[in-house]
């Protein structure tokens, strides 16, 4: 759903260095999947960055990056989404642009190969912000989005996640150890100084049919406003919805914090106040970036931008990792 681009938040004269960050889900990542997760977010970030470097918009870049993760079976979105109680897959996605604060979201979607593209269509082509399953499918079909049968979305990895969940449900209370809620997402700043976010997920592991993920909800799974910051969140969706995690991060930036400070403070608040763990990535209009998670792992990658007090990074490199300590840097 779109508004006119006519306010002071449209920085169309402002040329700046592009920035993109990608997250592949906050949880405990099994050792066998650490490398696949790290390379997956690296490659998705490169995909999105190419769009920005060629003068493309931040919204095109975040959709491109998230689409790459939806197509990658090692992430819980699109191909590889978790299986619900009925043995099916329901997916959720959100995109938001910071120049107009327009958004498109879809929830409990089946068969659409790339739910992030459906969210983009809802933003661009419908009069609505958020559509549920049947309405999303209708818009997707009107615009010829690719569809797939159920078997496409279910992978060996998602079957294994379901089995792990069922085996450990009675003994393991800590959500991130059961890999229950993971999500993918991206945030970007483009050459014109505009911000955007995109988030996509299959939801928490083995959800009830019809359970709605925070990843489709503006202010929870993502938020973008040129006047503050673009954010994509991941983790315990029920907790994220209770604190409006993405909007909380943006509010702290509006009050003067750096994206990194705001991201840390908000995730710590979520943990202390409602007992929820998760992660988030953020970027503001000056290219300041934030990455933080309260789970054991979160796969993440970035090209461009600056962390608070950072001195060594050069923006012709992609930086990526699955935790806070083993961060790899490769020239692009």
Residues with active-site annotation:
183
Nearer to ligand GLY, 181 or 302 (CB): 181
Number of residues that bind ligand GLY (CB under 6 A): 12
Residue pointed to by tokens 């006047």: 227
Nearer to ligand GLY, 183 or 263 (CB): 183
Applying CB under 6 A, the span of 4-12, 107-115, 196-204, 268-276 interacting with ligand GLY comes to 196-204
Within residues 69-88, the interface with ligand GLY by CB under 6 A covers: none
Q: Is 258 in the site for ligand GLY (CB under 6 A)?
A: no
CA quadruple 200, 329, 266, 101: dihedral, nearest 10: -50
Applying CB under 6 A, the span of 8-16, 43-51, 184-192, 213-221 interacting with ligand GLY comes to 213-221
Q: Which stretches does DSSP call E strand in the chain? A: 19-27, 91-97, 103-109, 130-131, 184-189, 195-201, 222-224, 229-235, 278-284, 289-293, 297-303, 317-321, 328-331
Nearer to ligand GLY, 234 or 294 (CB): 234
Nearer to ligand GLY, 11 or 297 (CB): 297
Q: Is 213 in the site for ligand GLY (CB under 6 A)?
A: yes
Q: Which of 64, 97, 117, 181 binds ligand GLY (CB under 6 A)?
A: 181
Integer Cα distance of 201 and 211 in angstroms: 12
Q: Which of 114, 200, 201, 260 binds ligand GLY (CB under 6 A)?
A: 201
Nearer to ligand GLY, 80 or 285 (CB): 80
DSSP summary character for residue 216: G
Least separation in angstroms between CB 273 and ligand GLY: 17
- Using alpha carbons only, give the angle 64, 69, 70 rounded to the nearest 5 degrees: 90
Integer Cα distance of 88 and 290 in angstroms: 35
Integer Cα distance of 169 and 179 in angstroms: 11
Show the site string, 214-243: x = touches ligand GLY by CB under 6 A, - = not: xx------------------xx-x--x---
Q: Is 204 in the site for ligand GLY (CB under 6 A)?
A: yes
Least separation in angstroms between CB 234 and ligand GLY: 6
Where would I find the H helices in 54-172? 58-70, 115-125, 133-142, 150-153, 156-168
**Whole-number Cα distances in Å, 162 to 83, 108, 170, 189, 213:** 7, 18, 14, 36, 18
User: What is the three-class DSSP state of 280?
Assistant: strand
Q: Which of 45, 67, 183, 194 binds ligand GLY (CB under 6 A)?
A: 183
| Nearest in space to 69 (alpha carbons), one of 299, 320, 303, 235 | 299
Q: Which residues bind ligand GLY (CB under 6 A)?
A: 181, 183, 201, 203-204, 213-215, 234-235, 237, 240
């Amino acid at each position: 759903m779109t508004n006119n681009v006519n306010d002071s938040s449209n920085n169309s004269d402002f040329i700046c260095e592009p920035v993109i960050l990608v997250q592949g889900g906050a949880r405990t990542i099994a050792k066998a999947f650490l490398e696949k997760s790290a390379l997956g977010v690296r490659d998705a970030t490169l995909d999105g960055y190419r769009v920005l470097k060629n003068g493309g918009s931040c919204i095109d870049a975040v959709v491109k990056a998230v689409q790459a993760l939806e197509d990658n079976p090692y992430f819980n979105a699109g191909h590889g989404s978790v299986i619900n109680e009925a043995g099916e897959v329901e997916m959720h996605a959100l995109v938001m642009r910071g120049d107009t604060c327009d958004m498109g979201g879809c929830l409990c979607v089946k068969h659409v190969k790339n739910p992030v593209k459906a969210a983009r269509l809802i933003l661009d082509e419908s009069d609505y912000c958020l559509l549920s399953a049947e309405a999303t499918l209708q818009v997707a079909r009107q615009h010829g989005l690719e569809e797939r049968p159920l078997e496409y979305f279910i992978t060996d990895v998602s079957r294994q996640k379901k089995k792990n969940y069922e085996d450990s449900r009675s003994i393991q209370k800590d959500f991130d150890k059961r890999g229950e809620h993971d999500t993918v997402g991206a945030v970007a700043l483009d050459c014109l100084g505009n911000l955007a976010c995109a988030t996509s997920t299959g939801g928490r592991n083995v959800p009830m049919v019809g359970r709605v993920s925070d990843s489709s909800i503006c202010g929870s799974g993502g938020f973008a406003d040129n006047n503050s910051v673009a954010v994509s969140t991941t983790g315990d969706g029920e907790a994220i919805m209770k604190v409006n995690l993405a909007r909380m991060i943006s509010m702290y930036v509006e009050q003067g914090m750096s994206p990194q400070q705001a991201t840390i403070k908000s995730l710590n608040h979520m943990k202390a106040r409602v007992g929820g763990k998760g992660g988030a990535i953020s970027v503001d209009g000056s290219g300041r970036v934030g990455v933080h998670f309260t789970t054991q792992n979160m796969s993440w990658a970035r090209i461009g931008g600056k962390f608070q007090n950072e001195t060594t990074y050069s923006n012709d490199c992609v930086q990526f990792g699955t935790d806070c300590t083993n961060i790899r840097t490769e020239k692009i």
